Every structure is written in structure tokens, then in C-alpha cells.
Amino acid sequence: MRALILDPEHKTASVRETAKPQPGPGEALIRVHSIALNPVDALYVFNPIATTARVVGADFAGTVVEPTTPALKPGQRVAGFVQGANSFNERPGAFAEYAVSPADLVWAVPDSMTFDQAAAVSLCALTAAQALFYRLGLPAPFEWVKKKTGQARDTFPDGLTFFVYGASTSVGLYAAQLLRLAAAANGIPLRLVGTASKKHFDMLKAAPYGYDALVDYRDPNWIEEARQAGGASGIGYGIDCISEGETVKQVLGVLGEGGKLAIIRSLAGGAWSSEGVNLNSVFYGAVWEGLGVEIDYQNMTVPATEDTRRFAVAFYRWLSSGTALEANPVRLMPGGLSRVVPDGFALLGSGSMDDRAEGRTEDWMRPISGEKLVYQV
């Protein structure tokens, strides 16, 4: 098959021929139709963790070719994510004509959703769900059981006010939807406050996001404006969908005393500054925990835990049941696999939000804002 293969020595990747993967027990071979790009894909091609060549990429959507479990059928439309080239572990990714995934970690794509749309869901939606329901302990819109002792789920008799920093990011768009669905399922009044560029305000105030208040992150007074938007009771919970530089400290400044903040990048990676940050208020975990395998990743080891995998299985089962979760807006990029690195990864950059391509004049190379980059395979 053709696949996008990491070249760790030269810190890039290129399309090459490689052996088609074979599914093991409980896995499925999937013909990949569409892939979606995440910043982590570009980051660990330009700054490799892996030391050997392997298929890169995480998010995919396609059709089942060879299931090894009766839970899936040949020809079934599915989507999921894998952990390709983002660790020392020898695991193949999804940016290829075929991919292998555990059968219970894919979800059934409804007929109303295209492969391009479905490819944009799995990793970012699970990241948001883990942050909200697994790490912060908010009531979820689906059933799952946390067997390990630890953080109890909070209750909200007087309602929940929640703050999203980076409301138009891929994770932020899913976080708002999940909060709305969870509040409705659990009968919790929700006030949703977020930051974004003003050009996205109309979209974010409309369904399925339904923000009650938005502030422009470019405004020098945005922290105070966000506090005021939270109302007299203040904002007790938040998610920082950027988690870079001073943002963690700034978002904690929006939350009231004792507030809980979910972040999407680890302190071990050095993306954000911990100076002046109460680390007891910050909750982090890698989305890869949902795969249920130990991963050597970014100056840390992500452990294999039964609870995190059980949560991911429950979340994808919920997606398969026909939930109202909508896919993020998609920017379909031209050129297929061969243009992922020179175009898609250039747009994503090799690290920070400021490290992204500029000066390209093609329409598809305009700056990313409120969209997910998708390629057809």
C-alpha cells in the first residue's frame, strides 16, 4: 500500500510503498478514505520522538475490509484514531491506504456524515470528552463506570458556568457541543463563556454550540471581561484548548477560587509556563490513554489503564448510537497523501501557534481558523 512514512533522520515524511498491515485478534483492517490532521501529527514529524520509519498520523475514516470480531461487518463505515509515530513505540499510523484498529475503538459513521467529516471527529472529540467528564468529573451524556477510586463527580444543583479558552479550535468546538448535550441529559442549567476571534462569534452563539457570552482573546482586557461574563457566582470550570505560554495562568485567572482547569498539553512538553500556576487546579491527560496501551511519549510514559480505555469505548459506543454530535467544519485539502507534509503540516507548524506557514497564496493555504484540515486517500 501507499503510506506517509516518517523519516526521523531528516525530520520529515514522504509517501512510500509499504506492507499492508494485518489485523490481530479483536482488530479490524480498514480501507482508509479520509484522514484529518492534528497539530501533534506535524509536531512529531518535524520534531520526531520515533527513531525508526513508520506510518504517521492519527485520525481516519473508512470502510471495514477484514474484521476479526462479529462486532464489525465488511463494508461498514467507521472512523477512529491510532497512535502513529507519536511515541517511541513501534505502532503504525493512519495516513495510509489501509489501517488497523481495535474493533471496539472505532465508531459507526452515520449515513448523514461524509468520510471527510467523520475523519475530523475521533481524536479531538475524545480529547474534549476526556477533559470534561473523565478528568474534571462533570456528568456525561452517556453511561460509563470509573472503577478506580479517586475523584468523585460533582453535582450542580444551581447550574454550571463553564469557560472555554479557544472556542473555535477543534477541541473547543467539540467541548461546547458535549457540554450542551451533557447539561440537557442531566438536567443541569449551563452558562457557556468562551474566547475566540470576533469573526467566529456568530457561529459560536448559534447551535450546536450556543455560547452565552464570548470575548475576543486579542482584547487586552479579555480576562476581566470573561470574569464579568461568568456572573455573580463566578466560573468554576474551564478548558484551555491552547495550553501554550501564559495561557494556563491566564485562564486560571478567569476561574473563581478553587476552580478546576483541564488542559490539552503537558507541562513535561514545555509548551506552557508553570510560574505562578497552582498545579493542583490543573488536570491533564494524553488522549492516547484511551487506547489502553502504555506509550512512551514526550518526556513521559503514558500508562495503560483499564479506566481510560473503558471510557473511550463507552464514548465511541455513544457516537455509534446516533448522537447529535456534529463534525467540525472541514477544509478539504487537495493532493492526497503527497501534499500532507508540504501543505497541511506547513499550515499546522512544528510547535507553537506562531510557527505556521505564511506567504502562500493558494486559497487552501489560508490560515487555519475554525476548520479541520482533511485529505482524501
- Start-end of H helices in 47-98: none
Answer whether residue 46 shows pLDDT above 90: yes
324 vs 19 pLDDT, higher one: 19
Question: For 292-331, how does the pLDDT look when each residue is reduced to its tens digit (9 = 90+)?
Answer: 999 887 778 888 889 999 999 999 999 999 888 999 999 9
Query: What values do phi and psi take at 343, rounded to 5?
Result: -110, -65
The Cα–Cα gap between 341 and 46 comes to 10
pLDDT at 218: 94
pLDDT at 153: 65
Answer whether residue 151 shows pLDDT above 70: no
Cell of 227: 470574569
The Cα–Cα gap between 220 and 202 comes to 21
DSSP code at position 322: T
Asked if residues 59 and 65 have their Cβ atoms less than 8 Å apart, the reply is no
pLDDT at 110: 95
Confidence of residue 357 (pLDDT cuts 50, 70, 90): low
267 vs 130 pLDDT, higher one: 130
Domains defined along the chain, listed by start = 2-121+327-376 (3.90.180.10), 123-309 (3.40.50.720)
Q: Classify 312 as helix, strand or coil.
A: helix
The Cα–Cα gap between 202 and 370 comes to 12
